[in-house]
A and B are shown apart, each in its own frame.
Chain A
Amino acid sequence: MAIVDISGLHKSYTTGSEVTNVLTGLDLRTREDEMIMIMGPSGSGKTTLLNLLGGIDKGQKGSISVDGREITGLDAKALNEYRRHQVGFIFQFYNLLPTLTARENVELGLEMLIKDKGELRERAEKYLRMVGLDDKMENFPQELSAGQQQRVAIARALAKEPTLILADEPTGNLDEERAAKIMVMMKRLQHELKITFIIVSHNSYLKEYMDRTLTLRHGVLETMDA
């Protein structure tokens, strides 16, 4: 079964009297445990696609199904539920809460799913260990390097064990060496946890870690390495 099934997706923005068509009938199907990278020039709609997939924006036309669940018609409450259980986000600037420690940041994403404090802590620590931050769990974000912060963000996204992880330029703020380490780790976790990754990036050197690389051009996806 396809984890993500998008068909005929349209999205446009209106600025004053000007209408910008960002997505024009976009289709996409992903398999379970697949890592896809979407590339494309600035303003091509990559982030818009992620936002639509994450249920934080709505398209005008078309359908999006994630793990067999149609999300385009969901109301705000149902979208909250969807984000809570099925999807994880990784941002370019990590977006960690600066006043929470690494462990607390990971716990934050789990709090609505797990009520038992012991279990909550155990889960957060498990994923922090998985991303190699065993000894940094009680550090605040500002006490961590850029790469370590991104690993916390990845652990936060993974910890709720979603079916889909959406990553917007996850290595955009890291040097090549650190980016490679992050990608190796994400690749390992993809297989271990059977999670689908959709990654938006400008960095073509990430292609080697991908199962597929697509280019978003003129509002539709084109296969790059066909």
Chain B
Amino acid sequence: MNNINKSVVRKLLRMKWRTLAIALVVGLAMAMIVSGLYGGAVMDESVQVFFEESAMPDVFVDFNVPVNRSEVNEVLATSGDVDDFDSRLKVGGTYVSPNNESFQAILIGMGDPDGATINKFELVKGEFFDGTGEGNAVSSMESKGIRAGEIVDVRVLGNLVSVEIMGTIRSPEYVFPTAYSDLALPTQGSLVVLYLPLEDVQALINGTDAVNDAIFLLEEDGSAEDAIDQLEPFGISSVIYQEDHPSVVFMRLGSAKIKNMMPVIGFVFLFIGFITVFMTMARLVQTDSRYIGVLMSLGFNRGEIVRSYLMLGLVITAIGSILGIIFGLLFTYSIVVAGLSLYMSITITFPLDLMPFIVGILFVAGAVLLSVAIPVSYITRSSVREALEYKPRGTVTTSRLGGKASRLTRMGLRNTTRNPARLAITVIVVGITIGTAGMWLVMMDSAWGYMSDQIDANTWDLRSAFNVPVEADSVDAGFLNLDPDDTSYVIPYTAMSAIVEKGSTQSGAYVYGSNEMERTKNFDVREGKLDFSGAVLSSKLADDLGAGPGDDIDIVVGSTVVTLEVTGVVQEAIALIVYTNRDVLAPLFTPEDCNGAYIQLVDPATSSEQAVRVREVEVVAGVLEIREVKASFEVMLELAQGFFLMFFMISAVITLAVAGSAVIISAMERDVEFATLDTLGFSKWHVAKVITVEMTILALVSSLIGIPMSFILAQMLAESFAQVLFEFPVILATGAMITTFFLGVVFVLLSSIMPIRYSWKLDTEQTIRERTAG
């Protein structure tokens, strides 16, 4: 290394804390970009590996009624489209926990779980079942008493069934064991899934060799449609392709969210880093102007000098990149672990993908080198004489702030406005940084409000699903074991999962048909009207399909297709749902029948006890309480809160670093003043007071700016959410505002340690001699 570069590197080492603070800001910016790009890749890879290793079925088919297993197996075994398959029997039930809470349960009868070659289980604890009376439970309901070694009782079709849980497992088809998959939000802790010997479940319905479910893997060139067609004679009630299965959809949504959200934050930080580096470098180069003059007088040309200062940028880039890689991996790991464990842990696989890191480093290098090159190029444009004669800024903007305050307070106040342009830049940059921290609080409040609104829009308290089709006219309070005086309404519905197509675009969706659909929910119409003689689409589905009022869509279940005209789009940004009348689904489902009912209670507070009564009805497969849904969302949001708080803390640390870097520049400019105060007999604490007054003003103004910034940035983030998940209505709640302001002030004030430390370490004699002599 030549001496000019050596000089710059040593200069960096001398200002190591400031260099580290700047590198930390750009490193965290890079980490956000990296974790966004890499986190998504890790999630995709982990999901892919998990689904491949566990042989996640390509197609899930449900039959209307139990059918003969041997016949189904024969069709699947002889199909040239099917590689591997299994046929099973699923029945619904109710599990009552030791705390007397009741939960929807699904019992799935199957062959040997250990030898399964499709939908393979991973044992979490215990062992696989091996005989009658035994079973395996999907892990996630341990806290509700579903644990290895326990005997649990499940009410099925009016009978109590005891199952000894031999072990808990992970099942690819229930990565998110939720009772609310049609609500398209991955919640857990709401569904008990038990795998039992097939014969045990068959015995419950007295169905010898009966199954009502088939899962299969396709041959490499196999056609799903052809395979489904072959099963059509058995009467198909729903078909779900792997890509539309909730396990896959939720995981992909998770990775898409991370991919979109994190880089947005990263670029905000990168901008902050750019300004911080720029301000610091501009000041550093100005201070170094005399040395630049010396270099010029020695015959160095401008290019050589600029290149040497770019070393500074390279070192900051290098440290920032190292921090970016470390933090990036750490964030990625935390996000993926937290993201996946939010529902159910799967093994995390880190793919060898260097691209996110290369992209991150390139962005950091670009921003840093540009922010170094601009001020250095500017300064080196001056002549050797100007450079040699440079003295730090002598003129200040004066004011008479402070009135009758003490002299030190007045000094602090007046120092604040001595360089209005820099003050403006500083408060804006620090304000943006505080806004970045506050953004997470705003998001948290908004998410909470949004989810609550979405759930509160439903007017029902209970939603029951039936095992078999039931004549709709017979479904009333009495049929559901309820007192008519306790119910406000009972509205039958028909629900099914289907593929919805518009032209060549298709999406998996839930179809709900009811002749009184409008009463079940306070729909928020985005486009068209609430005309259920056609299809009313949730906004998410409409956006995915690119469909709007007047368009035709096909609802496909097996080989049966119903074409409907889209009449309206309702604000329902998460779920993929088609709402329609029951009778228009005729080709798919007997119009006189239904397979569930919405129930509104006179007293919603009694929903739990009423749910228990409904579950006692023989045909009832499960009952969903809106109260449970809400509680489940709250659990999920509380977990998500951890994320938000983590990012809030990261942003707050950046605020500290940015504010510190900004104010130290101003402090360095005043070294002669600090030295003079020392010669006048002022103590270090007096100087600290002057700085603290100045920092308090900066903290208050920046934090005020931080409030609208947090709102604007949250909207930017919400915008990126809208690309992949849903439009997030951002609200600026008072709590978030006050917290942002208060914490902003605290963190900026904490950063005053840096200029105070600088003033305390200043060598008065040297400063006076070097800066005032001549």
Q: Which residues on A are within 8 Å of B, measured CB to CB?
A: 51, 54, 56-57, 76-77, 80-85, 89, 91-93, 95, 97, 99-100, 104-105, 107-109, 111-112, 156, 169, 172-173
Asked if B297 and A89 make an inter-chain contact with CB atoms under 8 angstroms apart, the answer reads yes
Measured CA separation A77–B297 after assembly (Å) = 12
Residue B385 lies at the interface, judged by CB distance under 8 Å to chain A: yes
A89-B294, A91-B294, A93-B770 known, 4 other contacts, Cβ within 8 Å: A57-B383, A80-B299, A80-B300, A173-B773
Q: Decide if B299 touches A93 in the complex (CB within 8 Å).
A: no
Can you report 6 residue pairs joining A to B where beta carbons are below 8 Å apart? A57-B384, A89-B297, A93-B773, A95-B291, A104-B7, A173-B773
**CB of B542 closer than 8 Å to a CB of A:** no
Tell me if B407 counts as interface (CB < 8 A to partner A). Answer: no
Q: Which residues of A contact B8 (CB under 8 A)?
A: 99
**Which residues from chain B contact A99 at a C-beta distance below 8 Å?**
6-8, 10-11, 14
Contact A111 B773 (CB under 8 A): no
Given A95-B291, A109-B298 in contact, is the A56-B7 Cβ separation under 8 Å? Answer: no
B:268-301 near A, CB below 8 Å: 290-291, 293-301
Given contacts A95-B291, A99-B7, contact A84 B388 (CB under 8 A): no
Q: A151 to chain B: closest CB distance in Å?
A: 16
| 7 closest A-B pairs by CB | A84-B299, A99-B10, A56-B384, A83-B299, A95-B294, A108-B3, A99-B7
Known A99-B10, A111-B3: A81·B299 in contact at CB below 8 Å: yes
CB distance from B92 to the nearest CB of A (A): 76
Closest residue on chain A to residue B300 by CB atoms: A112
Please count how many residues in chain B sit with their CB below 8 Å of the partner chain's CB atoms: 27
Q: Are B296 and A56 in contact, CB atoms less than 8 angstroms apart?
A: yes
Which B residues lie within 8 Å of A56 (CB)? Answer: 293, 296-297, 383-385, 388
- Known A56-B383, A57-B385, A77-B301; contact A97-B291, beta-carbon cutoff 8 A: yes
Contacting residues, chain B, for A172 (C-beta < 8 A):
774
B16 to nearest A CB, angstroms?
Answer: 13
Give the A-B contact count at a CB cut-off of 8 A: 78
Asked if B301 and A80 make an inter-chain contact with CB atoms under 8 angstroms apart, the answer reads yes
Verify A84–B298 contact, CB threshold 8 A: yes
B545 close to chain A: CB less than 8 A: no
Does residue B4 face the partner (Cβ distance < 8 Å to A)?
yes
A169 contacts across to B, CB distance below 8 A: 774
Do A108 and B773 form a contact, CB below 8 Å, given A80-B301, A100-B10? no
Q: Is the CB of B10 within 8 A of A108?
A: no
CB distance from B11 to the nearest CB of A (A): 5
Q: How far is the CA of A101 from the CA of B297 in the complex (A)?
A: 19
User: Measured between C-beta atoms, what is the minimum distance from B633 to chain A in Å?
Assistant: 58
Min CB distance A16 to B, Å, is: 15
User: How many angstroms between the C-alpha atoms of A85 and B300 in the bound complex?
Assistant: 11
Cα-based distance from A175 to B223 in the complex (angstroms): 98
Known: A57-B385, A80-B301. A100 touches B773 (CB 8 A): no
Determine if B2 is an interface residue (Cβ-Cβ < 8 Å): yes
Residues of chain A within 8 A of B384, CB atoms compared: 51, 54, 56-57
Shortest beta-carbon distance from B140 to chain A in Å: 60
- Is there an interface contact between B299 and A112, defined as CB atoms closer than 8 Å? yes
